[in-house]
Chain A
């Protein structure tokens, strides 16, 4: 079922269908919040709040746009508001990680170290390159969704992601 059909059903009073949208976009919303806030507890709060806001304003959703970009924008605004409210907030460095239950403790350590290294490398990129790269690889958005979200042509998104990857690869070699 398409997103706009789910939205239509919710607007007709069948609000239980909203669960499908939560199912579809929870990872996107949470990863966006996590990327922005770098704190698992605050990110969860922000992600929940973003879904509640989306639900409240479901009637204002314009089906001309993708639901993913709409909810991503709501998430970004929610994170901005949260950060504004909590000036001087210091993120907790204890993000829950998706660990392979089959993996050995050594593998978990390697994964954690790899993530840390990558985070450091990505943090070194300029926001122009960092943002589309994160949206593609971390939040799992498609090129067209990123283009719609960032309001830039898709060719620019592709080019920025390519350049970001190239810079990361060069940084990895150094």
Chain B
């Protein structure tokens, strides 16, 4: 007796147009092999179930309803591809230009914002550590050192923020592109 059929072989029964030569080989094998015959029956049952599930009836007059709705519509002009990317690039250039012009005002403002953020976070962290019974001294010293070195790490912080923003924007654009038709 020939080698038994693998599950991948049975899977071919469920294709739209299974190879007739393969089917006749399968049937010939199943005549001699009870185990494979049972297996084939179960795959055929699945095929029948999936076949019956595909029979979704269209609602009455569906095409007519669509065509009557389309009567009042007009075809819009084609949207230029990559429009949002160009807009993003223009926005980034604009922001960079804005920053370079107002740098003397923006830099201390941003620096102050970051300092305040660190302060608030450290207070929160202190309270959290105290509430769970851990001495916050170690972390306070660490935060103190960080604050003292802030001017030096500020460019890295800004670069990290800019990079994160770009990554987020790219992810959003990719998501939008995936949602776009075509």
* B interface, over-half SS: helix
A-B contact pairs, 13 of them (CB 8 A): A10-B75, A26-B62, A31-B56, A52-B66, A59-B78, A61-B181, A73-B180, A111-B52, A137-B51, A138-B54, A138-B56, A172-B46, A173-B42
* A146 lies within 8 A of chain B by Cβ: no
**Chain B residue with the shortest CB-CB distance to A16:** B67
Interface string of A120-159 (1 = CB under 8 A from B): 0000000000000000011010100000000100000000
Q: Decide yes or no: A60 and B79 within 8 Å by CB, A74-B181, A169-B46, A172-B42 being known contacts.
A: yes
Top 6 nearest A-B pairs (CB, nearest first) are A98-B55, A59-B78, A98-B57, A137-B50, A62-B182, A51-B66
Q: How far is the CB of A66 from chain B (nearest CB, A)?
A: 10
Q: Is the CB of B70 within 8 A of A51?
A: yes
CB < 8 Å neighbour of B181 from A19, A48, A57, A137: A57
* A interface, over-half SS: helix
Q: How large is the interface on B (under 10, 10 to 19, 20 to 34, 35 or more residues)?
A: 35 or more
CB < 8 Å neighbour of A26 from B43, B53, B63, B180: B63
Residues of A within 8 A of B56 (CB): 27, 30-31, 34, 95-98, 138
Q: Is the CB of A55 within 8 A of B181?
A: no
Stretch at the interface among B6-14, B94-102, B140-148, B159-167: B6-14
Q: Is the CB of B182 within 8 A of A61?
A: yes
Q: Is the CB of B58 within 8 A of A140?
A: no
* A44 lies within 8 A of chain B by Cβ: yes
Measured in the bound complex, the distance between the Cα atoms of B56 and A97 in whole Å is 6
Q: Is the CB of A117 within 8 A of B49?
A: yes
Q: Is the CB of B52 within 8 A of A115?
A: yes
Q: Decide yes or no: A137 and B53 within 8 Å by CB, A30-B58, A73-B182, A165-B11 being known contacts.
A: yes
